[in-house]
């Protein structure tokens, strides 16, 4: 049970943190530590969660919004783990009430949980005045999970290792996306196991490898070429686990998207559009088809986690 302190109630830090789309996801060999070697290109988009850290006595998490009712509010919540880990590292008491407002779909392949952990690191470091550097927070993020570092950085970045070794990628202009949110989730672990199974049976392609064509298209700001270069090695696994996603992808293309792809381990599908108007039109017409729970428009790249109040 967390209690609000009587004198410190003005101490509140609100952080906004973006979801990610993998524009390229090459899944390489399974490593000795149980993780796959990845080569991925992340783009941060303006579908965002907000984490508010309030001065309190004790640690507690409260969640509202998209999928919140399905999530743990105790120590299994990755935001809780992020706060305790930072407190331990900074040798401060883990005194904070974390209020998480979710817009990023849960188990949707858009790293919502990782985004919440990243936002929590920034919010608590600010609230507790730990004086942590960005590099220290990025290191801590890498220890909390493969996808936690990227939402701190934002923009567009190449991720190697487990995805946590990040190099910023140069892009020109904005990219306009439509996201088709599903009525169910896919566990990332299940998707990776399914890919291993498909590969062992010779039913999935070899790792996509380096994203050179994509990086060139991003530099040029050429949406058509970016669309043609979108790659996700996990897509066959997501489609095997959720065959209905084939209809979602086909509908988006029929309705005029430049290209469509499963986000990470799925089941969210992302459609690239020529401009904001085309994205709004596609979001409305796709929502009217019976191929997803709902749609959202999103623009990228956007900055990583930042304090907004």
Least separation, in Å, of the C-beta of 38 and ligand ATP? Answer: 11
Size of the chain, expressed as the number of residues it contains: 309
Q: Nearer to ligand ATP by C-beta: 191 or 278?
A: 191
Please say whether the dihedral angle defined by the alpha carbons of residues 222, 228, 229 and 232, taken in this order, is positive or negative: positive
Nearest residue (beta carbon) to ligand ATP? 113
Q: Nearer to ligand ATP by C-beta: 59 or 255?
A: 59
Query: Could you write out the three-class secondary structure of 2-58?
Result: CECCCCCCCCEEEEEEEEEEEEEEEEEEECCCCCEEEEEEEEEEEEEEEEEEECCEC
Least separation, in Å, of the C-beta of 239 and ligand ATP? Answer: 16
Considering the candidates 95, 116, 147, 233, report the single residue annotated as catalytic: 147
Count other Cβ atoms within 10 Å, centred on residue 88.
11
- Measure the CA–CA gap between 75 and 184, rounded to whole angstroms: 24
The answer to whether 20 is a known catalytic residue is: yes
The answer to whether 147 is a known catalytic residue is: yes
CA 236 to centroid of chain Cα atoms: 20
Q: Nearer to ligand ATP by C-beta: 112 or 301?
A: 112
Considering the candidates 20, 46, 49, 233, report the single residue annotated as catalytic: 20
The binding site for ligand ATP (CB under 6 A) comprises 71, 77-79, 100, 106-114, 116, 147, 185, 188, 264-265
Least separation, in Å, of the C-beta of 251 and ligand ATP? Answer: 22
List the one residue out of 285, 13, 35, 295 whose CA is nearest residue 129: 13
Q: Nearer to ligand ATP by C-beta: 75 or 133?
A: 75
- Annotated catalytic residues are 20, 147
């Amino acid at each position: 049970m967390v209690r609000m302190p009587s004198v410190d109630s003005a101490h509140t830090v609100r952080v906004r943190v973006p979801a990610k789309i993998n524009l390229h996801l090459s899944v390489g060999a399974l490593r000795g530590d149980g993780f796959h070697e990845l080569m991925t290109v992340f783009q941060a988009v303006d579908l965002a969660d907000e984490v508010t850290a309030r001065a309190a006595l004790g640690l507690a998490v409260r969640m509202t919004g998209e999928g919140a009712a399905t999530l743990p509010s105790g120590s299994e919540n990755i935001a809780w783990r992020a706060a305790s880990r930072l407190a331990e590292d900074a040798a401060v008491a883990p005194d904070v009430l974390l209020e998480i407002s979710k817009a990023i779909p849960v188990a949707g392949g858009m790293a919502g949980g990782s985004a919440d952990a990243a936002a929590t690191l920034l919010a608590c470091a600010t609230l507790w005045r730990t004086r942590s550097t960005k590099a220290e927070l990025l290191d801590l993020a890498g220890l909390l999970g493969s996808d936690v570092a990227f939402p701190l950085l934002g923009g567009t970045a190449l991720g190697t290792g487990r995805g946590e070794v990040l190099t910023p990628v140069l892009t020109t202009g904005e990219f306009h996306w439509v996201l088709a949110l599903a009525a169910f989730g896919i566990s990332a672990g299940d998707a990776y196991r399914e890919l291993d199974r498909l590969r062992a049976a010779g039913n999935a392609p070899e790792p996509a490898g380096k994203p050179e064509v994509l990086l060139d298209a991003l530099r040029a700001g050429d949406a058509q070429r970016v669309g043609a270069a979108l790659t996700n090695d996990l897509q066959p696994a997501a489609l095997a686990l959720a065959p209905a996603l084939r209809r979602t992808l086909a509908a988006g293309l029929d309705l005029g998207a430049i290209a469509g792809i499963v986000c990470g381990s799925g089941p969210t599908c992302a459609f690239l559009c020529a401009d904001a108007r085309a994205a709004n039109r596609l979001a409305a017409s796709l929502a009217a088809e019976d191929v997803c729970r709902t749609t959202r428009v999103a623009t990228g790249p956007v900055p990583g986690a930042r304090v907004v109040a």
